[in-house]
Amino acid sequence: MLIWRAEKPSVIGIGLMSGTSLDGVDAAVVQIEGSGLQSKVRLLHYYTRPYDDELRDKIKELCSPASSDVVRICGMNAYMGEVFAEAALEAAQEAGLGKDEIDFVSSHGQTVWHMPEPPENDPYLRKSTLQIGDLSVIAKRTGWLTVGDFRPADMAVGGQGAPLVPYGDLILFGHPERGRLLQNIGGIGNCTALPPGATAENVFAFDTGPGNMIIDQTVLTLTDGRMSYDAEGAWAALGTPDEELLAELLAHPYFRQPPPKTTGRELFGADYTAAFLRRAAERGVSAADIVATATAFTAHTIADACQELVMPRCRIDEVIVSGGGAHNRTLMAMLGALLPEQKIMTAGALGLSDDAKEAVIFALLGHDFLRGNANNVPAATGASRPTVMGKLALP
């Protein structure tokens, strides 16, 4: 199945990504040669369009059944399409590229609900997922072919619709001799295990649990909205994790589930953080110690996943961190202490921007959709078979 035939030896696409951290839209302008697992990609330019506080709050409202409704979801779907379109246009302009030089846009969209398993009490609900940011709006505003809405296709063949980045991780970071764990720390943490000489058949991946989500919400609450994140982990560095509270957090049943597994704000969102903060207040934990505990929670969930769920299946020599968490020095130091036998590094150390990685991968996913190539990794998502993920909107 070939949807699109490029007449050039290489194409230029823009990958758009906005994750559960709700920082904004990341746009990666990339040049791609070849296709499938033999693709070669070069990052030409990285651009980010931050969300302002009001938009971030509006999206958070959509992510909660208590504050969301069909009118808001419907309207915000179109609005977010405009936001993604503007990010793509601005990225191309900053890259110094004209309209005719961009071949396609590929957008992950903004997740507002992810339901990898259906509720047991309603036969009309199926496993499903919802990312907003209307593709037709992006295509019409930019004038470029636009690909997106990847996750439903994987779910339609029995997968959880996530994680999707292992496909790109294998292309970008597979190594013939070194076992690598690709750990993205966005709002949620997700990892891809690449054994030495990895193939699509032996790659596996899953969500490790909260990434920056609980840290960010904790900082936002403790500062009454004056700070939205702990820059470089400076606040956490002033505190000491409360070991009893940390143990309670780590007792959550999600961490004992075997992969494939995925999670999001549905499980570790504002309500979860509010309960954590109430428990910390009951124990009289100081603000710095609370932030340190939240940071240690993320570090331990990642390290535990590596030691208990990954290393029994394959050798891991290097842990390569990307996403916003790669800039949190305290979190990175905690990971190093918890995984002393593994080399901890960032994607940037290997030549790919820590912040751009996922946007680059969604450009790859969109390109392979256009080529008609299966672009999921069943071993990572639990899908019954490889399939072509994505939908197309014409300009």
How large is the average pLDDT for residues 5-14? 87
Task: Reply yes or no on whether the pLDDT at 269 is more than 60.
Answer: yes
Alpha-helical runs (H) found in the chain:
53-62, 70-94, 135-142, 151-156, 166-173, 213-222, 234-237, 243-250, 265-268, 270-282, 287-305, 329-338, 357-371, 378-381
CB 134 within 8 A of CB 78: yes
Residue among 71, 91, 72 at smallest CA distance from 16: 91
Residue type, 314: C
Give the confidence band of 294 by pLDDT, cuts at 50, 70, 90: very high
Q: Is 365 annotated as a binding residue?
A: no
Q: Domain spanning 10-162+355-393: which CATH class is it, in words?
A: alpha beta
Same fold, 10-162+355-393 and 166-350: yes
- In terms of Cβ atoms closer than 10 Å to its own Cβ (0-12, 13-18, 19+), residue 45 is middle
Q: What's the N-to-C CA distance of the chain in angstroms?
A: 21
Q: Pick the residue with more confidence: 263 or 273?
A: 273
Domain boundaries defined on the chain: 10-162+355-393, 166-350
CB-based contact 168:360 (threshold 8 Å): yes
CATH of domain 166-350: 3.30.420.40
Comparing C-alpha atoms, which of 306, 339, 349 is closest to residue 206? 306
Is residue 271 marked as binding? no
Task: Report whether 260 contacts 204 (CB < 8 A).
Answer: yes
Q: Which residues contact 64 (CB under 8 A, 6 or more apart)?
A: 265, 269, 270, 271
Q: In 10 A of CB 47, how many CB atoms?
A: 21
- The mean predicted confidence, pLDDT, of the chain is 95
Q: 38-79: per-residue pLDDT in tens?
A: 999 999 999 999 999 999 999 999 998 889 999 999 999 999
Distance CA 112, CA 118 (A): 16
Q: What is the DSSP letter of 350?
A: G
pLDDT tens sequence across 188-222: 999 999 999 999 999 999 999 999 999 999 999 99
Question: What is the arithmetic mean of pLDDT over 225-249?
Answer: 97
Phi, psi of 17 (to 5 degrees): -140, 130
Mean pLDDT confidence for 272-299: 97
Closest CA to 108 of 71, 161, 61: 161
Q: What is the reported pLDDT for 3?
A: 67
Bigger pLDDT: 264 or 250?
Answer: 250
> Which pLDDT score is estimated for 2?
58
For residue 26, say whether it is annotated as part of any ligand binding site: yes
Contact call for residues 191 and 178 (beta carbons, < 8 A): no
Q: Can you give the pLDDT at residue 272?
A: 95
Rounded mean pLDDT, 331-352: 95
Q: Rounded mean pLDDT of 87-94?
A: 98
Count each helix (H run) and each strand (E run) in the chain, helices first: 14, 12
Beta bridge partners of 147: 106, 392
Is there a binding annotation on residue 39? no
Task: Give residue 20's pLDDT band: very low, low, confident or very high (50, 70, 90).
Answer: confident
Instruction: Give the pLDDT mean for 260-275.
Output: 89
d(C-alpha 110, C-alpha 83), whole Å: 11
25 is in an annotated binding site: yes
Which one is predicted more confidently, 3 or 37?
A: 37
d(CA 169, CA 180): 10
Q: Is 22 annotated as a binding residue?
A: yes
pLDDT at 117 over 90: no
Average pLDDT over residues 340-363: 94
Residue type, 226: R
324 vs 186: CA distance, rounded Å: 6
**Please, which residues have CB within 8 angstroms of residue 283's CB and are 6 or more apart in sequence?**
242, 244, 245
| The 3-state secondary structure of 65-127, one letter per residue | CCCCCHHHHHHHHHHHHHHHHHHHHHHHHHCCCCHHHCCEEEEEEEEEEEECCCCCCCCCCCC
367-378 pLDDT, tens digit per residue, is 999 999 999 999
pLDDT (0 to 100) of residue 393: 97
As given in the structure block, the two tokens for residue 191 are: 């990892």
Residue 106 annotated as lining a ligand binding site: no
- Is the pLDDT at 1 greater than 80, yes or no? no
Q: At what angle do helices 70-94 and 135-142 cross, to 10 degrees?
A: 30
34 assigned ligand-binding residue: no
Which residue, among 108, 149, 259, 241, has the nearest Cα to 193 in the 3D structure? 259
Cβ–Cβ < 8 Å for 22, 7: no
Give residue 288's pLDDT: 98
What is the per-residue pLDDT across 171-191, written as a single tens digit (0 to 9) for each? 999 999 999 999 999 989 999
What span, in angstroms and rounded, lies between the C-alpha atoms of 309 and 272?
24
Task: Say yes or no to pLDDT of 321 above 70.
Answer: yes
pLDDT at site 312: 96
